[in-house]
């Protein structure tokens, strides 16, 4: 038996906090699909470096190009403004041990704030684009802006597509599976899975990847 969830908000869904379903679709917590967590880095218009903790993305391409598709960037963020202005951004993958420092960059989010200092991150310059890079990340991915689309048309979020120009990978992560896919590797977001029977809210979880078998 399957539980059916339609476009209309299921009235038995309880929110975890008052504005939850002002911010997110009920489909998000109905499905609870995990995605990689990373930091997007850009320059603010005043020259301060910006860090944005981000999920909701995927990465793919064909033999001619590789794309970072950030499916849901809020239009009110500095990152959205910075990317539209400079037409580039860097994606930085950090392990779970950096979670609190990434949240510190959200707590210190003034336009005047140096968000690298807020998160105690070491700044270096990207090789191919005009963007700051988090040195502590095990992968840095430099992107130029390919496309911006407001998928819902509501002026709230946008899909931002970056064309990958360059990747830097920390040498200890260059071989095998252990570093990239354990606690030291990709950090994942599990978006608060709703109890679809009772409607009780779930809690978001932060996860790592466990390899089960090789293909």
Question: Could you list the residues that contact ligand FMN (CB under 6 A)?
Answer: 37, 50, 52-56, 72-74, 77-79, 103, 106, 109, 189
Nearest to 93 by CA among 185, 205, 199, 212: 185
CB of 45 to ligand FMN, least distance (A): 12
Sequence-separated (6 or more) residues with CB below 8 Å from residue 213 = none
Give me the least distance between CB of 165 and ligand FMN, in Å please.
21
Cα-based torsion angle of the residue sequence 33, 36, 42, 48 in order, rounded to the nearest 10 degrees: 100
84/166 with CB nearer ligand FMN: 84
d(C-alpha 7, C-alpha 43), whole Å: 38
Q: Distance (Å, rounded) from C-alpha 41 to C-alpha 16?
A: 30
| CB nearer to ligand FMN: pick between 4 and 100 | 100
3-state secondary structure of 21: helix
- Phi, psi (rounded to 5 degrees) for 136: -70, -15
What 3 state SS string does 78-106 have? HHHHHHHHHCEEEEEECCHHHHHHHHHHH
Q: Closest CB to ligand FMN among 77 and 194?
A: 77
Nearer to ligand FMN, 10 or 30 (CB): 30
- State the minimum distance, in angstroms, from the CB of residue 170 to ligand FMN: 22
Nearest distance, CB of residue 99 and ligand FMN, angstroms: 8
Comparing CB distances to ligand FMN, the nearer of 101 and 180 is: 101
Half-sphere exposure of 30 (CA within 13 A, CB side): 17
Shortest Å distance, C-beta 171 to ligand FMN: 28
């Amino acid at each position: 038996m399957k539980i059916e969830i339609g476009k209309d908000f299921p009235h038995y869904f309880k929110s975890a906090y008052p504005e939850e379903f002002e911010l997110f679709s009920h489909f998000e917590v109905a499905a609870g699909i995990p995605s990689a967590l990373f930091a997007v880095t850009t320059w603010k218009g005043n020259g301060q470096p910006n860090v944005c903790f981000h999920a909701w993305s995927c990465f793919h391409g064909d033999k001619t190009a590789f794309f970072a598709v950030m499916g849901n960037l809020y239009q009110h963020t500095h990152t959205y403004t910075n990317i539209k202005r400079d037409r580039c951004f860097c994606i930085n993958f950090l392990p779970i041990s950096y979670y609190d420092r990434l949240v510190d960059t959200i707590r210190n989010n003034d336009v005047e704030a140096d968000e690298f200092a807020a998160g105690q991150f070491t700044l270096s310059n990207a090789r191919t684009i005009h963007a700051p890079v988090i040195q502590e990340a095990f992968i840095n991915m430099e992107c130029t802006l390919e496309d911006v689309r407001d998928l819902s048309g509501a002026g709230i979020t946008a899909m931002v597509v970056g064309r990958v120009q360059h990747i830097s990978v920390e040498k200890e992560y260059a071989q095998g599976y252990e570093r990239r896919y354990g606690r030291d590797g990709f950090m994942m977001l599990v978006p608060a899975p709703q109890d679809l029977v009772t409607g009780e809210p779930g809690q978001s979880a932060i996860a790592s990847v466990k390899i089960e078998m090789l293909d």
